Chains A and B, each alone.
Chain A
Amino acid sequence: MDIDILRKQFGNGILDISYFRGECTVTVDKEIIVPVCRFLKETEGLAFDFLSDCCGVDRLSDRPRFWVVYHLYSTAYNHRLRLKAAVNDDNPVIDSVVSVWPTADWHERECFDMFGITFSNHPDMRRILMAHDFEGHPLRKDFPLEGR
């Protein structure tokens, strides 16, 4: 897997490429998340046609505070990639990738439900696990484990 073509294609939009325990993680600017995903899916040799997972991570003390993490898999080449985009606390919005992988629909709804990260252009952006009138986002680090 030649991941350097991402750098050639997107230049400064690719913030970091790192390896840990044999896994490759690419951090991208959240503004270009949809073009990057489309490129990863449609480029010959990468062909990440299967979105395994998409979830949020709260790094309370970091700036920007949230990550949105995508786990990609290619059924043709049997390789994996982790894609990360950082999202700010004061305006937690990122573009939806449902247009690239329809499976992202429920993942993004769950991420919204649990972290309060809004996905723009999502077809049905509402809570999925918690009740519709629930207040707060339970997986945020400042949401207490019990008692409020």
Chain B
Amino acid sequence: MSAETMAVNLGPQHPSTHGVLRVMLELDGEIVVNAKPDIGFLHRGIEKLAEYRTYHQIIILTDRLDYLAAMSNNLAYVLTVEKLLEIEIPKRAQYIRIILAELQRIASHLFWLGTHAHDLGAMTPLFYTLRERETIMDIFDAVAGSRLTPGFMRIGGLAAEVDREILHRIDTFARYLPDRIDEYESLLTDNPIWKSRTQGVGILTIDECIELGVSGPLLRASGHGRDIRKTEPYSSYKDFDFNIPTGTRGDVYDRFLVRLAEMRESARIVQQAVQNLPDGPHIIRKAPGVLPDRDALDTDIYAMIRHFHLITEGVKPPIGEVYHCIESPRGELGFYLVSDGSSNPCRLRVRPPSFVNLQSLVKMVKGKILSDAIAAISTIDIVLAEVDR
């Protein structure tokens, strides 16, 4: 600090900080001389809580990490446990997981688009994007009985079958979504005010992104094609035909274009998955740690014993450690599990993409004007529940 500069607190209670992010800005007039993000206001100790719960009970904790992409968190966690337990799950379950994860990506990007535009002064798109997001939330409600925190994935598959009527609704949605994205584009893409607020703002180069561990749409907007769905395919992603949109300049505008294009690709994946959905069970029952069918408990004593055992004591995986990551809407979402052979993990580490991507904020705003800092915060697409855990 010097006598010429002024300290300004942005947040933690400020609508443009998307939750409880506090940024200590040092301003020289309107120029940001330095920025220091201050995080941790939403820390709930989820990694600590996980050490006191069984592997099944942790699934609902993962919902509460990134609450705008709870399905993705579910998926990353159960895949990690399945890797540790060496469970191969049925094709149908893999496809439904992809459908849900891609719908979640669309929902998350829609919410991001609405709030991002709102931060930059375009009020209207929020109402349109929330309309489509609401459709997805209704689908999740029908699938899992819960909108924001579905907790729908299970070790070995899914909690329930997704019926034909819901699949039809999903397919219809995926078919009309591209038209709706055209609508948003007609409001923003060629809008001169939108362009002047976003083009050339918050630039990150590929090298800067990789140095800072930045992943997801931010990295791809800079021109790097890394997407974990392609580079390290999980859950049958290699069965689908989709492109990885990339940008060229790595600015706020390119990230907007990349996320819009990603939604279109996700809609394509959803359509392919619904069309080619194989028959079969939605969960593999004969594997370690997988809960038996609820209906079997009434008639089968062994199922009853197994259920009792898994609920009271939990599954005991072999001693070892695994790391598994997926492409969440925000980037590389990884879980690192250390098992000591007991029914609670010795350590569950979440590799949160928001947390890592937020580090790039300082680089994006230094030397720029204050209004660009607002654009930079919202372009990262942070969810503070995931940053602070």
Contact = CB atoms under 8 A, between A and B. Distances in A.
Contact of B336 (A50, A55, A75, A101): A55
Contact of B334 (A53, A58, A131): A53
B48 interface: yes
Interface residues on B, range: 35 or more
B335 to A, nearest CB: 10
B338 A57 contact: yes
B101 interface: no
A121 to B, nearest CB: 17
Contacts of B84: 21
In terms of DSSP, what is the predominant structure of the interface of chain B?
mixed
Contacts of B320: 20-21
Interface in A50-91: 50-53, 55, 57-59, 69, 71, 75, 78, 80, 82
A145 B49 CA distance: 7
Interface stretch (B56-64, B172-180, B245-253, B343-351): B343-351
B280 interface: no
A107 B45 CA distance: 16
Contacts, number: 87
Contacts of B232: 78
Q: Which one of B231, B232, B347 has the greatest number of beta carbons of chain A within 10 Å?
A: B347
B321 A25 contact: yes
A20 B47 contact: no
A1 interface: no
Interface string B49-72: 101100000000000000000000
Given A52-B213, A130-B40, A103 B359 contact: yes
B128 interface: no
Of A55, A82, A101, A114, which is in contact with the most chain B CB atoms at under 10 Å from its CB? A55
B224 A129 contact: no
Interface string B206-220: 000011111000000
B86 interface: yes
A105 interface: yes
A106 interface: yes
A83 B52 CA distance: 26
Contact of A50 (B43, B210, B347, B389): B210
B355 interface: yes
A69 B349 CA distance: 10
A12 to B, nearest CB: 24
A114 B349 CA distance: 12
B322 interface: yes
Given A53-B349, A103-B214, A103-B359, 11 more contacts: A20-B321, A21-B83, A52-B325, A57-B349, A75-B210, A102-B212, A105-B359, A129-B43, A129-B388, A130-B43, A139-B47
30 contacts: A20-B320, A21-B86, A21-B320, A23-B321, A49-B210, A50-B210, A51-B213, A52-B213, A52-B325, A52-B351, A53-B323, A55-B336, A57-B347, A57-B349, A69-B336, A71-B334, A75-B224, A78-B231, A82-B321, A82-B323, A101-B213, A103-B214, A114-B47, A129-B40, A129-B43, A129-B389, A130-B40, A141-B51, A145-B48, A145-B51
- Would you list the 6 A-B pairs with minimal beta carbon distance, nearest first? A103-B213, A129-B40, A53-B351, A55-B349, A129-B43, A20-B320
Interface of A: 20-21, 23, 25, 49-53, 55, 57-59, 69, 71, 75, 78, 80, 82, 101-103, 105-107, 114, 127-131, 138-139, 141, 143, 145
